[in-house]
A and B are shown apart, each in its own frame.
Chain A
């Protein structure tokens, strides 16, 4: 439940404000990429290849003479789309399983938490790579893979949050009034317990942006001609001596975006829990 106190403390948090501003700008760029981009992202012009940053091409051009700024703008779209959908998928799986584990306890809890342990044994990027390889590389596969990789964080957070809320009197009241467990869990306990999840989701957006870029960097993510920050960076690596700017700008775009989500996540955590401000 977002209260006035929560918003006030969030808006007083310098990091959260900076992070929030970055996120808003990146989202706006992603939404309006076709309008904001000075050129078509796939418009090739061999005579203009490897142009350094100039007035015509603010961030230079790539090996096909395509405008890097336009490609980064469109790349923002791809990146955020994958991040939002994969975080949504991870949260959905994590919340349902975590809530069941926390509320029902016993065998369900044991099984869910063991499955979490199993997933945590894999380095995330490795599991994502394997899943993408199986599904064959595309934006859709990357989304599904990241959703399946990152759900454990949500399950753990929701589980411990539910454990804390389960003892409250209103939960007992709901049970005493004869509500069955799914109703008590999903109508009464869960809406109260999802608060901490927003922090995980914010930081998770950052991780998803990085992971998508990493997969595309390895050539196993979003496929050409659709630009992704990771694949532009990979092209940059191949022409590092000729065109160092080609790998500098997409990397900066990734870092600024992830920084925005991390700062926002830190601010959200502090606003939700005033004790953890060290």
Chain B
């Protein structure tokens, strides 16, 4: 196990280095002088020189790369051109909002997809199964931004059940405030705001995981040991819930863990639709303003976070499944 963990960790280092390289050189690919691109035709020579110096673009490329690497390893990505504050503080400020959405989305995925996939497998080839399969197929094909727009249309504008935008007051702060005299009403308010965005974010994952649970369960239900369990006279509920489900869950855990990357990608769009003040919106705004330090910092941060989560998923999978460890 230790050897596997070390090998996996060693593979992680070049990935982080590669991410840093790709982001650095992509941003340097901007055609023309970035300062001119940023300032437009009206910028004075003095402004251009200031921006060039601010971005460190007046030094030779290898030096720029060295400085960038050194700073990046300390979590320093410079300052935002438009907002003035440091990229690190911008990213850290927005992080809780995005984590909140991602965690809620993961929760919704597990609570909805597991039962759905299990029922579809146990009742395979019945109307319930076809319904669940169709739902899963639609979910995989439906762009999440359309789902988000339809959700606003139905639940906010027509039924007026849930708010359509903003984070108010935020789930983490509301729960935190509970310990210092905050009210449950705030938590409820935060949940109401977070529900539509997190459901939108989760929708694709729900479909994917439900499909996977179904096929994984079907596979396990046909194995010899399940037949043995049945022939021992165990109740079907026990066979399904205790014997089959646990083994069927193995591949599902990996996929749910790996959804983190997809969720971070989805957050970019979801946060834009629901005006959710998270990392995704920070990136989109930075991209439309061409705020390169912010683009650089937040993209590196997200990619490294996704790699770390994937690493943890791989390691935990090796703990659960001995085949990986010794394979």
Contacts and interface: CB of A to CB of B under 8 A. Distances in A.
Interface of B: 11, 14-15, 18-19, 22-23, 26-27, 29-31, 137-138, 140-143, 145-146, 149-150, 152-153, 157, 215, 218-219, 261-262, 264-266, 268-269, 272-273, 283-284, 287-288, 290, 295, 299, 302-304, 306-307, 310
B263 to A, nearest CB: 8
Sorting the interface of chain A by its residue count into under 10, 10 to 19, 20 to 34 or 35 or more gives 35 or more
A118 B219 contact: no
A134 interface: yes
Given A210-B143, A240-B152, A259-B137, A134 B261 contact: no
Nearest to A124: B265
B141 A121 contact: no
Given A237-B273, A240-B153, 17 more contacts: A117-B15, A118-B14, A123-B265, A123-B303, A125-B266, A126-B283, A213-B145, A214-B145, A214-B269, A218-B268, A233-B145, A233-B149, A240-B152, A244-B153, A248-B153, A252-B146, A259-B138
A258 B141 CA distance: 5
Nearest to B11: A117
Most buried by A among B27, B30, B143, B288: B143
A202 interface: no
B64 to A, nearest CB: 16
Given A114-B15, A118-B14, A251-B146, A130 B287 contact: yes
A220 B149 contact: no
A254 B146 CA distance: 9
Contacts of B146: 233, 247, 251-252, 254-255
Given A210-B143, A217-B145, A237-B149, A125 B269 contact: yes
Contacts of B149: 233, 236-237, 240, 247, 251
A171 interface: no
A107 to B, nearest CB: 13
A129 B150 contact: no
B303 A240 contact: no
A115 interface: yes
A204 interface: no
A218 B269 contact: yes
Contacts of A136: 31
A161 interface: no
A122 B145 contact: no
Contacts, number: 139
Contacts of B26: 130-131, 134
Contacts of A213: 143, 145
B140 A262 contact: yes
A234 to B, nearest CB: 8
Nearest to A115: B18
A129 B287 contact: yes
Contacts of B27: 130, 134
Contact of A133 (B142, B152, B266, B295): B295
Given A121-B304, A254-B143, A255-B146, A240 B264 contact: no
Given A210-B143, A255-B142, A123 B306 contact: yes
B287 A133 contact: yes
